[in-house]
Amino acid sequence: MSVVSRSRRWGLRLSAACGLVLAVASGGVRAEQPWRQLFNGRDLTGWTPKIRGEKYGDNYGDTFRVEGGVLKVVYDPEKYPEFDEKFGHLFYEEPFSRYRLRIEYRFTGEQCAGGPDWALRNSGVMIHGEDPAGMPLDQSFPASIEVQFLGGAATGERATANLCTPGTNVVKDGKLFTPHCTNSTSKTYRGDQWVTVEIEVDGNAKVRHVIEGETVLEYEQPQLDDKDEMLEGHAQELLAARGGEKRLAGGTIALQSESHPIEFRKVEIQLLDPPSDSE
């Protein structure tokens, strides 16, 4: 299938989802659907990589792989003698709008040589992301909302389930919120322990980051940033293609590769129906 036809199909699915989001008022009773596994535990079916400097679909160096029922980000030395800014994202094939996303992850091993200092024990999941088929070859990050995963060092505190905003902004406490990264209130998770993060996404309304049943960060109205410089004008291109519509009511989900090995043993989603008219 051509990139053009794939993008058109993706756009139609997302437009239908977002149209539903924008057409239904907030509030009311929400129905819950069964949890659905996005990672099948066997292979990368349904997932496609986009690694900086490589074509969409090229899994350079077998960076993303499944071993022992676990989805891994791996940097083999023969392919990665240096990281060389090969930031990667593994995109799920279907866009989503209203859902709960649950991910179990852990950091392992040592950072790839040449990885930036800030990327030590650093990864995440991108939500409300753009269609990867339209990303420039050398773009490091998709325009999206990042739920950032951080592992703690031997000492000191380092929150996880943070917020980062490549090409985007959010509204927080009723005001447009433009810092690129914002810490959550989570505790620090050290070593190679498994951490479970849950993200509740309500279209263009509330987004909550939850760990161990506790909300550690909350914001709303994810949107494209018309003043963005991080993506070198790409966010403005996306905004123009959307007729100036900043609001992001849905989009892709993608797991990150940012130079430190990480494993994911569960990626599951629970779709949320729009609130009903009754309370």
CATH number of the domain to which 115 belongs: 2.60.120.560
In a domain, 32, yes or no: yes
User: How many domains are contained in the chain?
Assistant: 1
Selection from 201, 196, 181, 217 nearest residue 253 by Cα: 201
Q: Hey, which bits of the chain come out as E strands? A: 36-37, 47-51, 64-67, 70-73, 88-92, 98-107, 122-129, 145-150, 162-164, 168-172, 175-177, 181-182, 195-202, 206-211, 214-224, 252-257, 262-271
The contacts of residue 272 (CB under 8 Å, 6+ apart) are: 30, 31, 32, 33, 98, 99, 100, 200, 202
In a domain, 134, yes or no: yes
Q: How would you write the pLDDT of the chain (279 residues) with one tens digit per residue?
A: 333 344 444 554 554 444 444 333 344 555 678 999 999 999 999 999 999 999 999 999 999 999 999 999 999 999 999 999 999 999 999 999 999 999 999 999 999 999 999 999 999 999 999 999 999 999 999 999 999 999 999 899 999 999 999 999 999 999 999 999 999 999 999 999 999 999 999 999 999 999 999 999 999 999 999 999 999 999 999 999 999 999 999 999 999 999 999 999 999 999 998 765 544
Looking at the domain assignment, is residue 164 inside a domain?
A: yes
What are the angstrom distances between the C-alpha of 135 and each of 69, 152, 211, 239, 249?
30, 32, 31, 14, 19
Residue 278 located in a structural domain: no
pLDDT value, residue 14: 52
Residue 267's domain spans which residues?
A: 3-271
Q: What is the pLDDT of residue 274?
A: 76
Question: 94 in a domain, yes or no?
Answer: yes
Residue reference for tokens 């009773």: 29
Which residue has tokens 């996880």? 160
Domain contains 68:
yes
Which pLDDT value is given to residue 31?
A: 62
Strand partners for 256: 89
Q: Is residue 279 part of a domain?
A: no
Residue-level pLDDT at 13: 53
Per-residue confidence (pLDDT) for residue 251, from 0 to 100: 98
Instruction: Confirm whether 217 is domain-assigned.
Output: yes
- The rounded distance, in Å, linking the Cα atoms of 48 and 209 is 25
* Residue 275, pLDDT score: 65
